[in-house]
Amino acid sequence: MKTVRLTAAQAATRYLAAQMNEDGEPFIAGVWAIFGHGNVAALGEALYAVRETLPTYRGHNEQSMAHAAIAYAKQLRRRRAMAVTSSIGPGATNMVTAAALAHVNRLPVLFMPGDVFANRGPDPVLQQVEDFSDGTVSVNDCFRPVSRYFDRITRPEQLLTALPRAFRTMTDPADCGPVTLAFCQDVQAEAYDWPENFFARQVWRQRRIQPDPVEVEEAAKLIAAAKAPVIVAGGGVHYSHAHDAFKFFVEAHRIPVVETQAGKSVLPWDHPYNLGPVGVTGSSSANQRCAEADVVIGVGTRFQDFTTGSWSLFSRPGRKLISLNVNAYDAVKHGATPLCADARVGLEALSRALGDMRFDPPDPKLKADWFAAADAVTAAPEDTNALPTDMQVIGAVQRAATENTVVMCAAGTMPGELHKLWKAGRPGSYHMEYGYSCMGYEIAGGMGIKMAEPDLDVVVMVGDGSYMMMNSELATAAMMGVKITVVITDNRGYGCINRLQMATGGAEFNNLLDHAQHVNPSEIDFVAHAASMGAHAEKAGSIAELEDALARARAADGPFVVVIDTDPYPSTEAGGHWWDVAVPEVSERDEVKKARAGYEAALKERL
């Protein structure tokens, strides 16, 4: 057997560069790195050697560069991914939040944080957190609950099994998620005689899990007995590349569709069977159909509480639940009849079993009434002196959008309003991280989307709160020449949570800047701040000025930022649904007592 002598770090990078997807592209498209003493010497040297085939990108924050990697994988529907490396200590723990985001959203990313010395000679090394009762523990153990596969590399030859396991996880449709290989820093530099065939080019195919015939038959029987079925479209339809099969199934059997945050854009917004967004941030058309449905067919959804209205939405007595999901864990949630399979082949098998069965199409008035309400709140304001609403900002961005536009967001007011109001015309034109709803994902995520699909017009919607939480990759985008448009809606605080606080009877407290314990008023100049990081930045004083700025943004090079002040209080009154947010049983405030009474009444309805 021929061998080649390499350090563990050199072997790891060489292996990464040789792993391909079924389209013939490197599965790992690049490595995001912030170097420190735990990874700069060995891993840094190894990455330098392969920089032509495995590019390395420098970030400004470990969490946000991981967000860029995750958004890259999400936009490419898990066909490609990126790796992320940091030093030990704070560099590693900064990435734990991003690992959780990837875990919740079932997205591939490879974390390679530096770790302590395996030989323990210099213990405690700089940034080492010691466990007083367990000498094998380091801060990287924080990754265990938020990784789909975790390994600590304490000998070079462990990579011979760890790396294939890592790629098996990232490319497996059911187990897909973040992988953490905690890389002891002395081991990174150790040499080993590696089999040459370990570095041979390997293609990782994403298998399509076939459905069990018995499960197909059971699901088909339930649907055949239905009077008012509805399909809940989730992100699994995107990841399966099942859009054509999904559209065929819907049209062949005339079953209406409602969309989760992850499933939005599976069908065009104006498709007659697409009743729009579902759940807490759903449309009246979708939620009415769900309340009436006797059979609910989930396709690629994990039935998160925003989708189900905390399981109060599907309220018809005796209703049945079918879950077509590649992951058995999701397929049996809440007593569902499982159809454990890839979304595309599962739909094809189910369609064959149903034959020519067709249902009455949905009442077109449901959809027409909803969009009349949506169009009213997104229209340009008549009163140009009033602060615009987030809904009006969405309307302006929608009017400026082209077929090539992808709108993205993650947290705050905008996700709910975009889910309700954005008209997504093609698959992949709506990118929302709402599984973890992670503030700070937006700018880095927008950069990752643009790197994944450079021809897209990427529009990042971000509130002032999320912008303040994590904005440093705007400088990275400027330096790398990554063109994104960032719309910052400044409502001077955490407007979404402030409204929730008020809705549960609470006093306005510690959310908006004016209601916090500050000595001096906020005077944050977002335009100057964005410009200082290399972006072109403008302030829009009205919706009309925002639309003019968005027109200029299309012709600009590099990141283009538009800041607009918005009213923190209004939200779309139409649509929506109850969400289980516990209200205190005891309070001196009458507002809380009233909210508690309403909460208890809602709980009784759900039960």
Tokens 């790796």 locate to 83
- Give per-residue pLDDT as tens, 501-556: 999 999 999 999 999 889 898 889 999 999 999 999 999 999 999 999 999 999 89
CA distance 81 to 305: 28
Mark residue 461 as left, alpha or beta (left: phi above 0; alpha: psi -120 to 50; beta: remaining).
beta
Q: Which fold has domain 379-565?
A: Rossmann fold (3.40.50)
| Residue range 570-593: mean pLDDT, rounded | 96
Report residue 598's pLDDT band, with 50, 70 and 90 as the boundaries: very high
Q: pLDDT for 224-263, tens place per residue?
A: 999 999 999 999 999 999 999 999 999 999 999 999 999 9
- Of the candidates 568, 513, 560, 570, the residue with the CA atom closest to the CA atom of residue 539: 560
- The pLDDT, as a whole number, for residue 1 is 86
- pLDDT, average across residues 179-186: 98
Element housing 248 (H / E): helix 243-253
Give the pLDDT of residue 607. Answer: 64
Q: How many helices (H) and strands (E) does the chain have?
A: 24, 22
- If DSSP codes are grouped into helix, strand and coil, which group holds residue 459? strand
The answer for residues whose C-beta is within 8 angstroms of residue 85's C-beta and 6 or more apart is 31, 32, 33, 34, 39, 43, 47, 111, 112, 113, 114, 183
C-alpha separations of 156 from 7, 160, 188, 233 in Å: 8, 8, 7, 44
Confidence of residue 306 (pLDDT cuts 50, 70, 90): very high
Burial class (CB in 10 A: 0-12, 13-18, 19+), 368: exposed
- Class of 213-366 in CATH: alpha beta
Looking at the structure, give the CATH architecture of the domain made up of residues 3-204: 3-Layer(aba) Sandwich (3.40)
Q: What are the tens digits of pLDDT across the range 44-94? A: 999 999 999 999 999 999 999 999 999 999 999 999 999 999 999 999 999
Length of the chain: 607
Strands 202-204 and 178-184, sheet pairing: unpaired
CA atoms within 13 A on the CB side of 435: 23
- Assign 603 to helix, strand or coil: helix
- Digit-coded pLDDT (tens) for 443-477: 999 999 999 999 999 999 999 999 999 999 999 99
Residue 384 has pLDDT above 90, yes or no: no
Backbone angles phi, psi at 91, to 5 degrees: -60, -40
CA 553, chain centre distance (Å): 25
Domain limits of the chain? Answer: 3-204, 213-366, 379-565
Longest dimension (CA), the chain: 79
546 bridge partner residues? none
Q: Which two tokens stand for residue 388?
A: 């615009």
CB-count burial class (<10 Å; 0-12, 13-18, 19+) for 126: exposed
Residue type, 601: A
CA dist., res. 83 & res. 12, Å (int): 11
For residue 595, name the pLDDT band (cuts at 50, 70, 90).
very high
